[in-house]
A and B are shown apart, each in its own frame.
Chain A
Amino acid sequence: MNVLEIQHLVKEYTDADTPVRAIDGISLTVAAGEFTAIVGPSGSGKTSLLNMIGGLDTPTSGTIHVQQQNITQLTAAQRIDFRRNHIGFVFQSYNLIPVLTAIENVALILQLQGVSKKERQQRAVELLTAVGLQDRIHSRPANLSGGQQQRVAVARALASRPTFVLADEPTANLDSKATENLLQIMQQLNKEEGTTFIFSTHDQRVINKARRIITVEDGKIHTDEQVVPDSATTLAPMV
């Protein structure tokens, strides 16, 4: 079942009076349970694509359907509700709320959803345990390493049981060990919980773990490949 369907997506903006086409007619689908990497050089359009998939930005034309709902027709406030209930975000710089502890950061999104205190505490502890931070649940971000912060961010992204998780360069600020650890957790969640992950990256370690690699160049999909994880073997080109 497809959780994401994109049709003829175009994003144009003006940079110093010069029209720029950041996304140039992209169409793709993502099925539930995929572990997909969007790769490409800087300025290729992968972050713009992720922003529009996540409802953070609106396209100039084209449609994005998430579980049959066309999110390009939503108002700004409706998009916020949509993001809260359907999409988990993992950012490059972790972006945890500094005044909140790990458990509060994870539980915040559940609170926004109106989940009861007991239930959200339980879910937050579960998720932090799943990412190996059961002994750091009351630590503030400032007292956690980069890798630990990113694991809290993953737990936060999963808290609302989203349709999929969007991760923008999730390992860019992590060392090898923390990257390996994070990827293991994400893969485990993908396999065991069936969580769909879509991430932009140019980290080869991440690309090696992906089961589908979409290469974006100049705002267009250059290649879209199903691969065997950890070997980067091409299975079948889709485009």
Chain B
Amino acid sequence: MAAKKITPKRPSGSGTKRTERDTATLGKIEKLARGALAQATRGDNPGVDIRTRTLANVSFNQKRKIIELGDRTQTREFFNVAMARKFMQTMLVASGCKTLIGEGKTVSIRQMFYMTKHTLPGSSENTFEDQSESDPIIEDLEVGIDALREELHLFANRRGLVVGKLVVNDAGDEIDLSRMGRGGWGIPSICEPDALSFVKNSAEFILLVEKQAVWHRLNEDRFWEKHNCILLTSEGQAARGARRLLQRMATELKLPIYALVDNDPWGLYIYSVLKQGSINLAYESMRMAVPQVRFLGMSAFDYKKFSMPKAAEIKLTKEDVTRAEQMKAYPWFKDAKWQREIQATIDNGFKMEVDALLTKRISFITEEYIPKKLRDRDYLQ
């Protein structure tokens, strides 16, 4: 896989050079620590204010068409049985990030888990039992001190592939995305301008597919060459890298973006997150949401339009229906066209995977489905 992430624009992690951003982040971390210490010294309960990342505290900004985090905060107090452990973990991660910034190094969130994991003296309790405990703490810290993940010198495992008519510069290396062979270019977890820039673009649109297998199908068929586009897969729910890259392409390259996901509530939610952000990362929506992404498919109505065979159907489960009903209630799906789309899936009583297009022909998707949808401007937005 390509491009192992190296400290941006720096030949090696010597750590002596500190950017302004680093200094600012360090200031935020120190403020957090000093605040807690001051509270303890006063005999108060040391706490960290964290904006709550729950459905109740996000709102849909109708004007900007993105999900925004509300102002409701929860104070994570140390002297509170339910929160003490998380408070301790937050401080550990903060301290770990300070070390990273100080040494000018960047680690994955999994590596941060190991950096901060140890056994508490005199017990069998670990500071973190597994990564599922430390990941949310990192997100908490981001919200708590208002710092971005990359500012904390952390990155997630990269996920997502891209090929197409675009040349980028990543950490000093120029990469022609039209010469990536079968594997494609792995999207780095951090796609900020200081590390990644667009050198030359000749694409006319961007096509994002949910599944790697579908991306592979299209790549093998050289879809992007024929249609002069950039072909991207998020490999499931889009990671921050893919979302940030998509947003930058949308704004900097000013290209239309089409998304192709499975025709089920989960596929639709992947689209939804790309478009207006997620509840959990609502504080990042500004940098990541791409409201102009178009929903190309698969639509519940494609079944008839393309005369899909019965074999393409998968019965909806109870869970699917429940999830679909939830989605119908989201403010950003209140539009009649979305209500119609979701209701149609429920009424159909079945879901369809993009892969199901292969019931027709191996390259039906490349040769007929996508071109027809694009031609007919058969998408939702």
Q: Do A and B come from one complex?
A: no
Q: Which residues of A contact B (CB under 8 A)?
A: none
